[in-house]
Amino acid sequence: MSLSASGVLTTEYLKEIGKYPSEERMKQGPVAVCECVEKIPCNPCESSCPFHAITIGENISELPCVTWGKCTGCGSCIPACSGLAVFVLNKSYSDEVGSVAFPYEYNYTFQVGDVVGAADRSGKRVCDGVIKRIVNTKKADRTTVVTLEVPIAFVDEVRSIYRERRS
Ligand code: SF4
Ligand code: SF4
């Protein structure tokens, strides 16, 4: 289903438009991906990067472009994005598992080491994951950055923690 029909981004689409890091790059270390595909006037991701790895330029309605060779995977851009559209992916440390770091703006009780459900871009539970890191900084206000370790085949799909619907 197309993006306009489903409203849900896909890895395939991001690859098609050149906005997704290569497998080779993800195996070299953590790297940011801006899953931002609407031309809106917005650029805090650009100024948040201490390594100048994100470029939007003078026309702030252009899509962000990550120079993956400059990105260290530090994650500073994750809470800077008000659209919750920036993630850091890492497939470098194991053949079995990798990690996804994402913004999280709900209340939570989980802790590092907990096993939780991992959700894809549509919110569907796709696998289990282990919480590896939880970062709350004053600068990020109340946007927590969570790093979740998941089976490596799911790194391209997992983008949050699964939340059960309350009936
Ligand atoms: S992860 Fe760090 S180095 Fe990479 S784009 Fe984001 S802020 Fe820049
Ligand atoms: S801050 Fe987020 S929404 Fe704004 S341009 Fe950057 S990635 Fe897109």
4-50 per-position pLDDT tens digit = 678 899 999 999 999 999 999 999 999 999 999 999 999 999 999 99
Strand 86-90 and strand 65-66: the pairing is unpaired
Cα–Cα distance measured from residue 153 to residue 68, given in angstroms and rounded to the nearest whole number: 21
Q: What is the pLDDT of residue 6?
A: 80
Residue 111 Ramachandran class (φ > 0 left, ψ -120 to 50 alpha, else beta): beta
Identify which ligand lies nearest to the alpha carbon of 37: 2
Q: State whether the beta carbon of 33 lies less than 6 angstroms from ligand 2.
A: no
* Residue with CA at minimum distance from ligand 1 atom 4: 71
Q: Label residue 165 by pLDDT band (50, 70, 90).
A: confident
* pLDDT reading at 2 higher than 70: no
> If you measure from the C-alpha of residue 23 to the centroid of ligand 1, how many angstroms do you get, rounded to a whole number?
18
Q: What is the pLDDT of residue 167?
A: 64
The DSSP annotation for the chain comes to --HHHH----HHHHHHTT-S--HHHHHHS-EEEE---S--S--HHHHH-TT--EE--SSTTSPPEE-TTT-----THHHH-TTS-EEEEE-SS-SSEEEEEEEE-S-----TT-EEEEE-TTS-EEEEEEEEEEE--STTTT-EEEEEEEEGGGTTT--EE--PPP-
Q: State whether the beta carbon of 66 lies less than 6 angstroms from ligand 2.
A: no
82-141 per-position pLDDT tens digit = 999 999 999 999 999 999 999 999 999 999 999 999 999 999 999 999 999 999 999 898
* Residue with CA at minimum distance from ligand 1 atom 8: 49
Q: Label residue 1 by pLDDT band (50, 70, 90).
A: low
Q: What is the pLDDT of residue 159?
A: 98
Q: State whether the beta carbon of 73 lies less than 6 angstroms from ligand 1.
A: yes
CA angle 121, 157, 78 (to 5 degrees): 70
> If you measure from the C-alpha of residue 28 to the centroid of ligand 1, how many angstroms do you get, rounded to a whole number?
15
Cα–Cα distance measured from residue 1 to residue 74, given in angstroms and rounded to the nearest whole number: 33
Identify which ligand lies nearest to the alpha carbon of 39: 2
Cα–Cα distance measured from residue 10 to residue 30, given in angstroms and rounded to the nearest whole number: 20
Q: State whether the beta carbon of 49 lies less than 6 angstroms from ligand 2.
A: no
* pLDDT reading at 76 higher than 80: yes
The model's pTM is 0.96
For 48-61, what is the mean pLDDT?
A: 96
Query: Which atom of ligand 1 lies nearest, measured to the CA of 30?
Result: 1
Contact (CB, 8 A) for 157 and 11: yes
Domain segments of the chain: what residues? 8-161
